[in-house]
Amino acid sequence: MPRKKNGQRPGFGARLSQLRKAAGYTQQDQELGVSRRMIAYYEGETEHPPATLLLGLATALSVTTDEILGVATLRKKAAKPDRRLQRRMQQLERMNPKEKRQALQILDALIEREQLRATKG
């Protein structure tokens, strides 16, 4: 997250970036209802939020407009599934059975490796 200026809270762009990443979205994700170019602009070059898009962005990011604007403190959310991962799993569900089985074998191997690391460390 960008540095705070003179002890102030981060601006609109920094908050939007933080909230977008926390929700598992990239700037290209169409679920936000805004082009990648506009998201990049709002996150980097402007401190003036787009009033017409605030409600849509808040809904897509599962936050309040007050949180995006910095009026309310960002609330700590209970761990929820990563939306990006959920989208990948939905794509996996649509694959043919052979490819799905191969993908699951790869996932199983990665999970097993991580479990072994956790027990050693």
Per-residue confidence in pLDDT tens, the chain, 121 aa = 444 445 566 788 888 888 888 888 888 877 777 788 888 888 887 777 778 888 888 888 888 888 888 887 655 555 566 777 888 888 889 999 999 999 999 989 998 998 888 888 6
CATH classification at residue 59? 1.10.260.40
**pTM value?**
0.55
pLDDT of residue 109: 92
87 and 64 share one domain: no
The whole-angstrom separation of Cα 51 and Cα 56 is 10
The whole-angstrom separation of Cα 32 and Cα 83 is 12
Which residues 6+ apart lie within 8 Å of 63 measured at CB? 19, 74, 75
Quote the domain boundaries for residue 45: 12-69
65 and 95 share one domain: no
User: Within its chain, how far is the Cα of 19 from the centroid?
Assistant: 7
* Contacts for 32-40: CB closer than 8 Å, 24+ residues apart: 32/56, 32/57, 32/60, 32/61, 33/57, 33/60
Residue 46 lies in a domain: yes
pLDDT of residue 24: 81
pLDDT of residue 99: 93
pLDDT of residue 16: 87
21 and 58 share one domain: yes
Residue 49 lies in a domain: yes
* Structural contact between residues 22 and 62, judged by C-beta atoms closer than 8 angstroms: no
